[in-house]
Amino acid sequence: MIYETGAAVAGRGSDLLGDVGGEALARQGAGRSPASFGAAGQSTPLLEKLARSYWTEPADYAGVGQSPTSFGAAGQSPALMDYTDRSGELSRRASAAQPTLGGISVESIRSDFPILSERVGGYPLIFLDNAATTQRPNCVIERISRYYGREHSNVHRGAHELASRATDAYESARSAVARFIGAEDAGSIIFVRGATEGINLVANSFARPTLRPGDEIILTQLEHHANIVPWQMIASERGARLVAAPVDDCGQIILSEYEKLFNPRTRFASIAHVSNALGTVAPVGEMIAIAHRRGVPVCVDGAQSAAHMPVDVRAMDADFYVFSGHKACAPTGIGAVYGKPELLERGVPYQGGGNMIEDVTLERTRYQPPPRRYEAGTGNIAGAAGLAEALEYLTRIGMREIEKYEDALMLRLVSALADIPGLRVIGGLDARRVCAVSFVMAGRTPEEIGRRLNEYGIAVRAGHHCAQPCLRRFGLEETVRPSISFYNTFNEIDRLADALRVI
């Protein structure tokens, strides 16, 4: 979905904020960007709904928590704290009260993440680099420790108790992934190191065998390098070529142009669900339907969507869906590929070795059925156990609650950035964003901004974000990219805005 205008906004607003917010958007926000919400006299019902929707109760500013003006040395206020409401009152109420997700306070959630209590340069850590990786809750850290302390062995074929425990942990993790993304069953889940390896697997095992000289693979201008380079490699080898669907000035895929790319030589499409550089959301359901009408399979790169919104691979009708655990509160070095069972049966393994074989002679090899056919060698067993724990943790909070809260955080973030003189939000202000937003500032390089923010304990990403074609679409080589997760707070957004005003 995107932030539409007019009557369509009212529907989205009602869904996100309830009737009051939807009415406000329809009456006062039609045709305007999120940054205009909060200007003097504008969309007050929406702002009041935002102030109420995620907190247990309204609270006065005095004596409740820390204000944005406590950012910096004692008694110092680097910049304005009330950009969302010129009188300052609503912003003060919002920052002081306690947000909740499904009845669980954000402060309680934050206490699950030990690293969030760290200090950097004397300031409390504000981790806004979640599109690069998320942090780990205690339950995930403890699950990995428990695996190594009580369950560690190699999986499958072992005739002893520890092998049985390790196998149970590994295979139950496969089931946990299937439940989390709405897959048919555990047999449609392949464990990989992450989304990058997952895309390489899909490209080599399923697309490469079908390619002939002159064939085409469709991507978009939004893609991460991990969803470009593997396709370039197999296209170069097979004499095929890549074509990319363009995006508009708001970072939205132009569906009419995407549809025009399909022709009798199109063999595969691979698309990002959410742009890692811009945070804009692709209409994957429509894009998959367009491809399927022409008999073309689609791989969805879910690296930036799996931890931020409910995912149902069957509802979107994805042929393949890949994601990384480390962007979903799980350990590094673990991720998953979903594939439709009938496609997994037809694929060709691109890595060989132990675990994936059924019988081997010097003349030939007979492979295991999927998914083990695609899992050569010893997998990341501890990582799989940690991934299952992370996904169960997210499920306990509720993915719809996470999506709703992060949508409000993102509204606040985009509004805050748009109010800073000399700052340009890349992709405009009208698109719905998930997790990430990119910007540049006049007179400052992204690296300089990143270094200066770090002096205040604020972690953001500065650079090309492994998405150079995307940034070059907007005439840029690098940007600053703050990115949020459900453990971030409105107060942290305010502090980022305060710091940007003074660096």
Residues 6 or more apart whose Cβ sits within 8 Å of residue 171? 155, 186
Kindly give the residue spans of alpha helices, DSSP state H, lying in 317-398: 341-346, 381-397
Query: Which two three-digit tokens encode residue 251?
Result: 């970072």
Residue linked to tokens 């990143």 = 450
Residue 87 and residue 347: Cα distance in Å, rounded?
61
Residue 61 and residue 46: Cα distance in Å, rounded?
20
Residue linked to tokens 């890349």 = 426
Residue 52 and residue 54: Cα distance in Å, rounded?
6
Contact predicate 244/220, CB 8 Å:
yes
Closest CA to 306 of 412, 410, 179: 179
Contact predicate 71/499, CB 8 Å:
yes
Contact predicate 288/270, CB 8 Å:
no
DSSP designation for 331: P
Closest CA to 224 of 312, 317, 323: 323
What stretch of H or E contains 463? strand 461-463
Contact predicate 154/375, CB 8 Å:
no
Residue linked to tokens 């205690």 = 138
Closest CA to 287 of 191, 220, 367: 220
List b or e across 164-173, with b for residues whose CB sees 16 or more CB atoms inside 10 angstroms.
ebbbebbeeb
Active site residue 466: yes
Angle at 287 between CA 406 and CA 348, to 5 degrees: 105
Q: Which of 139, 250, 299, 466 is catalytic?
A: 466
Residue linked to tokens 């132009």 = 254
| Residues belonging to the active site | 466
